[in-house]
Amino acid sequence: AQSVTQPDIHITVSEGASLELRCNYSYGATPYLFWYVQSPGQGLQLLLKYFSGDTLVQGIKGFEAEFKRSQSSFNLRKPSVHWSDAAEYFCAVNDYKLSFGAGTTVTVRA
Amino acid sequence: DAGVTQSPTHLIKTRGQQVTLRCSPKSGHDTVSWYQQALGQGPQFIFQYYEEEERQRGNFPDRFSGHQFPNYSSELNVNALLLGDSALYLCASSLAARVDEQFFGPGTRLTVL
């Protein structure tokens, strides 16, 4: 069965610094991969998705992710973090349903 | 264009009771999926409805049941509530042909005492 693993439970980053969140997937075929963000008390918002083609994917809010088949990874990056980026981030893989990782909590310090 | 809406926002029940949560999909969408998100965890797939039928189901007991109406809205019913059912319940809608693109509602926070 398809699954994703997010190795980092919690990351703290300074405002203006770069951010990278890790995601490793397990899937036999070419996966459909997603990153979602969840602010406190909110639902999930799609940041970006990868289906095929170009391995560097651009998303909303200045985020990007790179698909690396050789490493079974789909890491999320942002060059310069804003205080509003503090949230929970989920990586997910899709078959007929979304299978989510446990999430990474991002704290932004001033 | 309204997105996915869910009601109620919050709900408090006691063990053994039954609860019904409601979801209205994004305009034009015909498929609804339900997820349970326990505190500190990622969402877990409960089931998916299309054409008023349960199409797929995750690893949840029969106490969890659902329904989809002709207007594509959906209900999630949970019987014999347990403390462990306390969670955020998320509804997601999509087109049947594009279940890879799901749009989420804000969720219903269920607390079981």
Q: What is the pLDDT of residues A37-95, one digit of tens each?
A: 999 877 899 999 998 888 999 999 999 999 999 999 999 999 999 999 999 999 999 87
Q: Tokens 């999926």 appear where? A: B33
Smallest CA–CA distance, residue A75 to chain B, in Å, is 17
Angstrom distance (rounded) from CA B30 to CA A81: 37
Strands A10-14, A104-109: pairing kind: parallel
A98/B44 CB distance under 8 A: no
pLDDT of residue B99: 73
Chain B residues with beta carbon closer than 8 angstroms to that of A94: 99-100, 102
Q: Tokens 């349960």 label which residue?
A: B54
Mutate to test the interface with A, among B5, B89, B90, B100 (most CBs of A within 10 A): B100
User: What values do phi and psi take at A51, rounded to 5?
Assistant: -115, -50
Task: Kindly tell me if the per-residue pLDDT of B1 is higher than 80.
Answer: no
Angle, vertex CA B60, rays to CA B55 and CA B61, nearest 5: 105
Q: d(Cα A103, Cα A107) in Å, to the nearest integer?
A: 13
Confidence of residue A27 (pLDDT cuts 50, 70, 90): confident
Is A44 close to B56, i.e. CB distance below 8 A? no
